[in-house]
Amino acid sequence: MNYAEITGWGSYVPPLLMTNDDMSKIVDTSDEWIYSRSGIKQRHYTHVSTGKMAWLACERALASAGVSAEEIDLIILGSTTPEEICPNTASYIKNELGATKASAFDLNSACTSWFYGVNVASDMIKAGSIKKALVVGSERISLAMDWQKRESCFLFGDGAGAVLLEESQTPAGLLSGHMSCVPDSRECLHLPSWGMSPLHFTDDLFISLNFEGQEIFKSAVKGMSDSIAQVLEKEGLTPNDIDLFIPHQANFRIIQSLAKRLDFPMEKVVVRIDEYANTSAASIPLAMCDALQDGTIKPGMTILTATFGAGLTCGAGVIKWGERVEPIGISDKNIPEFEGTVFDLMADSFVHYGVDAEHLLTKA
């Protein structure tokens, strides 16, 4: 039987930080207000595109596996913020990597996009249609933040995380996955006009997130719990059999609620929302890469993951880690840093959303 083992991993986190104290200089908020409601202390903002971040995460994943780009059969980009709708951004990543034989497509199910991509690629490897696939989650959601909305502008950050999946005869990788979509819940988490319609009718683009926190909380916890129950039952497992839980990093209260519902100890839960905020499709692979780097993930671990996103899409999976937790190699590729402050980077966004932040800009 074929399995789709995770043999490589890599991430890119932009160096520019927007702390909660920085945020309080832009909107009427404070570190205490943000942290008490979300668990977020800061977020990273990028000066390069979704595709560029994804490329570097993939370069690092290939190096960690000791695999060349020419060996890759498939590249899936999970993202809500592709550079273009046509052509897809995955084809840009393919070309930058030099993955000459790889097919490439984008997958958008919002914050669940990376996990859905892992499901798709794993099933293709198990079916024997491909042997090696890169699945990367990359987001530049900082561009879509409405600075007039105090309740939501602090929630998101940028970044990218990737994994390499390889055909293996060893039971490893995503053993079981479940994907779902909560009925009649689209409007509670929504970016109107983030697409082809009605953009072709107007030049006045004003993206503003519709965010109904209580409804999202309720639907997310139930949706993820239902998906977790499905995959645990399929594998004949209970929460006691799980060594580590890596949930989507959207809100610390949601993570706590889900762990409590499972009777799962928080010391076995990977939490990185304080560092990165919600990086949407990148949140689980970023947390996974950190857990590998700091030694939290051990050989042979049984790992549970769960996620939700706009739609409301939901999912969960049981991942069996292989024997290797150290990278075979390290990529020397990088992205030049931005010359300026985070306020310089976001100046156009502040102006667009009617925020007076000129006093924060670096003076030449």
From residue 113, give the alpha-carbon distance in Å to each of 37, 41, 146: 25, 24, 23
Residue 168's CB: how many other CB atoms inside 10 A? 18
Round to whole Å and give the CA distance between 280 and 139.
7
| Count of C-beta atoms within a 10 Å radius of residue 105 | 14
197 Cβ contact partners less than 8 Å away, ≥ 6 residues apart? none
Three-state DSSP class for residue 174: strand
Distance in angstroms (rounded) separating the CA atoms of residues 166 and 32: 44
CA atoms within 13 A on the CB side of 91: 6
Tokens of 40: 């977020």
Cite the active site residues.
Answer: 111, 248, 278
CA–CA distance, 174 with 120 (Å, rounded to integer):
11
The span from the CA of 41 to the CA of 23, in Å, is 10
Backbone angles phi, psi at 110, to 5 degrees: 65, -135
Number of residues assigned to the chain: 364
Q: Write down the H helix ranges in the chain.
A: 20-23, 31-38, 50-65, 89-97, 113-127, 213-235, 252-262, 273-276, 283-293, 342-345, 347-352
- CA–CA gap between residue 158 and residue 155 (Å, rounded): 11
**Contact in structure between 75 and 95 (CB atoms under 8 Å):** no
CA 309 to chain centre: 10
| Three-class SS state of 286 | helix
d(CA 303, CA 29): 36
Question: What gap in Å lies between CA 59 and CA 105, rounded to an integer?
Answer: 18
